[in-house]
Structure 1
Amino acid sequence: MRKRIYWLLPDLSSATRTMNDLLLARIGDQHIHFMAEEGADMNGLHAANVLQSSDLVQAAQSGLLIGAGLGSAAGVAAAYTLGSMAAPAAVVIAMAALGAVLGTWSSSMIGSSTPSRRLRRFERAIGQGQYLLMVDVPRSRVTEIEALLERTHPEAHFEGREPNVPAFP
């Protein structure tokens, strides 16, 4: 299990040094993500992808549940309307599956273009030119990594931990 830690860094050189320190501390680059203002120089940094910077995963999960529920309701209505012409359980299951697929797809399209609610609190700092570091560290190393960054990067600001790190992104 990993825990996500947030840090705000003032500029690109600080962000680059921080990334190098994390790599030397044996944190893999796939667990280090940076966000900055659109158009900012991200040369040498591992930029956050759509999974870290949008509500894609949360939207897909909601779409799955809502689509399956609506599909099940439509399946019950269809089975009731068809009567003995079809196996009612098969109709309900097929409609629930179709609803789940369509709900997941449509919601994930919307969620991929929506900024993450978890990162909303950093919008002002990012807009002012700061770099947001999101690093996912093993729970057993959280204190060690926080101490390392506090010691080596006094210019950085610790912004907290994510209480529930998403398993996917």
Structure 2
Amino acid sequence: MRRIYFLVPDLPTAEAIVDELLLDRVEARHIHVLARRDTPLGDLPEASVLQKSDFFPAIQRGLASGGAAGTLAGLVGVALVPGSVVVAGGAVLASALFGAGIGAWISGMVGLSIGNSQVTEYAEAIEAGQLLMMVDVPKARIEEVGELVRRHHPEVEFEGAEPLMPAFP
């Protein structure tokens, strides 16, 4: 899945786009709308904390760095303890998994407190009253969905697609 971004000028346009996306078989759980705090969204699918924060990218970074640190700690432990060659594989694997888990947990908590780096690019437009629509679609449908929106709403700014999207919602 890839996330595509649209800057929408007003609520009626956003509602019309959501209706068209739903008719085009884009599930409602894959549509997220972000607006200024004082904007009532009504029935529009509001972006959750997970879309507003850097939670998933932080987890990915923490998983990688924690796993690497855990593997290194396991290797150092095996090298320093004499006679531990027999259980070396298990010890290194266990420390790598432990490090990955701790790294993902800590990074995820930090990521929740940091604004989404993709969304911060649109902060000025959102504060000016525009709405940011984030739509998660399969890679093969990016152009199709972009064209659908552009065809019916030329006033909408298609901002492109995120280069990488995690596999979980």
Alignment of 1:19-34 (within 5 A): 19-34=18-33
Name the CA distance, whole Å, in 1 between partners of 2:81 and 2:2: 51
The unaligned stretches of length 5 or more in structure 1 are: none
Aligned AA for 1:19?
V
Amino acid corresponding to residue 165 of structure 2 in structure 1: V
SS of match in other structure, 1:80: helix
* Cα distance per residue 1:119-162 (max 9 Å; x no partner): 22111111212110112234444344323322322332222222
Please state how far the C-alpha of 1:165 moved relative to its aligned partner: 3.5
Mapped partners of 1:165, 1:98: distance in 2: 25
Answer with 12-21 or 138-147: which moved more. 138-147
Give 1:77-88 correspondences, 5 Å limit.
Answer: 77-84=76-83, 87-88=87-88
Number of the residue aligned with 1:94: 94
- Which residue identity does 1:146 align to in structure 2? G
Whichever residue aligns with residue 81 of structure 1, its letter is L
- How many residues are aligned here? 168
In structure 2, distance between residues paired with 1:11 and 1:83: 69
1:100-128 CA distances to partner (integer Å, 9 max, x unpaired)? 11111101111122112222211111121
Judged with a 3 Å threshold, the aligned counterparts in structure 2 of structure 1 residues 142 and 94 are, in CA distance, closer, same or farther, namely closer
| Identity across matched positions, percent | 40
Task: Report if aligned partners of 1:80, 1:88 keep a CA contact under 8 Å in 2.
Answer: no
Q: 1:153 to 1:89 in 2, by over 3 A?
A: same
User: What 5-or-longer segments of structure 2 have no aligned partner?
Assistant: none
Distance 1:141 1:84, change over 3 A: closer
TM-score, L = length of structure 1: 0.85
Distance 1:17 1:56, change over 3 A: same
TM normalised by structure 2 equals 0.85
CA distance in 2, matches of 1:92, 1:140: 40
CA RMSD of aligned residues (A): 2.1
* Residue 167 (1) aligns with residue 167 (2): yes
| 1:137 corresponds to 2:137 | yes
Q: Which amino acid aligns with 1:163?
A: P
* Matching residue's letter, 1:135: V
Match status 1:71 vs 2:70:
yes
Aligned partners of 1:4, 1:30: CA distance in 2, in Å?
12
Q: CA deviation at 1:87?
A: 2.5
Contact 2:142 / 2:161 at 8 angstroms: preserved in 1? no
Runs of 4+ residues over 4 Å off in structure 1: none
